Structure 1
């Protein structure tokens, strides 16, 4: 379905619902199509996705840093 900019401003909520329902919504400037409303796909983030699939020991991120490495971080050489 195609709408003018004026009609799109008036019925924006309905056009968003239509796009979310899978309909193609085009907004035109005059008679020339300008933009298409498309839904943003949901992204799922899963914590621990790779747990158990990586080989090797886990680093102890809370262990104290060796003195020589700490000196490098603090600007020493």
Structure 2
């Protein structure tokens, strides 16, 4: 994250706003002290995925939560 002084922003605000629009973030410095962060707004208007989006695409087997065999356990546990 780049640091920029308030004076630099005042000299060419459009330059920095264009960089923010492109995804960059800045820490604003005044009198050698960080006073603010200038960053792009993340779009929060994302559409929710519909319920049942993958319905019928796969089937969970009846033994899904059954204990693993010794062979499979040994593979994971290195036994």
TM-score (norm 2): 0.47
TM-score (norm 1): 0.48
